[in-house]
Structure 1
Amino acid sequence: MDITATSPSPDSNQKNDSRDGVVVFVCRNCRSEDDPNADPRPGSLLSTVAIEKAGQAGIQVRSVNCLANCKRGLSASIRSADGWSYIFGGLTLEDADDLITGAQLLADAQDGLMPWRGRPDSLKRGMIARIPPFDFTEEKS
């Protein structure tokens, strides 16, 4: 697999939609506990499937070398340029659609937070962390 593989990005002449700024990063280096020497690695397979499904949904997916979440792989993150970003672990090869759904939920969120309602189970039980936007300031009560 091409290590720089990404899903097709929207044509720059197209109208920007709410999906702009949301990117799914999938760790292609994640190994299987059952077969750590498997080739291709399960992370690479998850990345390939997610990239294939992303184009239909208007979501960008990028394959990355490592997300440093090895103890809880397969791993992925969903980053939002204007909202919160999320890191997930314990994913399976069957969770590619869930990553796309999560990215769509985040892209559509008015408050920049991925809603709990409607979030696939793999993204509920596998959430490692959520990271605030760069310009975030806590409201004081």
Structure 2
Amino acid sequence: MTATLYVCTTCKVGEVHEDDSQRPGAQLYRALEARGAPKDVKIVGVECLSACKTGAAIALSQPGKWTYVYGHMTVDDAPDILAGAAAYAATPDGLVPWRERPVIFRKQSVARIPAFTLPLEAAE
């Protein structure tokens, strides 16, 4: 199964841009696409991750795995983002050991969301 690296293309990082293609989130998306997705990862641009105060934001998700949201990403972070995405894709549950995560993933995590199961089970 393939992991998805979502990139918020509308993140402005507090900047004003008349041309949406110049927004930091859009620039990050293009930088990641130019480098190419690692094995078992697809890169998907999305219009908003609702992490505006921590933009530019990305998220990693895969069915049956924990989902992560990361913020304060820049174009310069593209190599580390892709390395982190590859490590995430290689895990059975999305839990990459702490020391094996890129530093930006250790320090710039916004949220960690448990894997969803369908039908959703009631908490006991």
Q: TM-score scaled to structure 1, two decimals?
A: 0.74
* SS, match of residue 105 in structure 2: helix
| Aligned counterpart, 1:13 | none
| Aligned counterpart, 1:36 | 16
* Number of equivalences: 117
Q: Which residue of 36, 39, 49 corresponds with 1:67?
A: 49
| Aligned counterpart, 2:79 | 97
Q: Where does the alignment leave 5 or more consecutive residues of structure 1 unmatched?
A: 1-19
Q: Which structure's residues are more often helix, by fraction?
A: 2
Runs of 4+ in 1 over 3 A off after TM superposition: none
Q: Where does the alignment leave 5 or more consecutive residues of structure 2 unmatched?
A: none
Distance in 2 between residues matched to 1:38 and 1:31, nearest whole Å: 11
Q: Which residue of 83, 106, 112 corresponds with 2:88?
A: 106
Q: TM-score scaled to structure 2, two decimals?
A: 0.83
Contact 1:80 1:106 in 2 (8 A): no
CA offsets per residue over residues 35-87 of structure 1, 9 Å max, x none? 322641110010011122234x2221001001011011110001121211100
Query: Is residue 22 of structure 1 aligned with residue 6 of structure 2?
Result: no
**What RMSD in Å do the two structures reach over aligned CA positions?**
2.0
Distance in 1 between residues matched to 2:18 and 2:106, nearest whole Å: 28
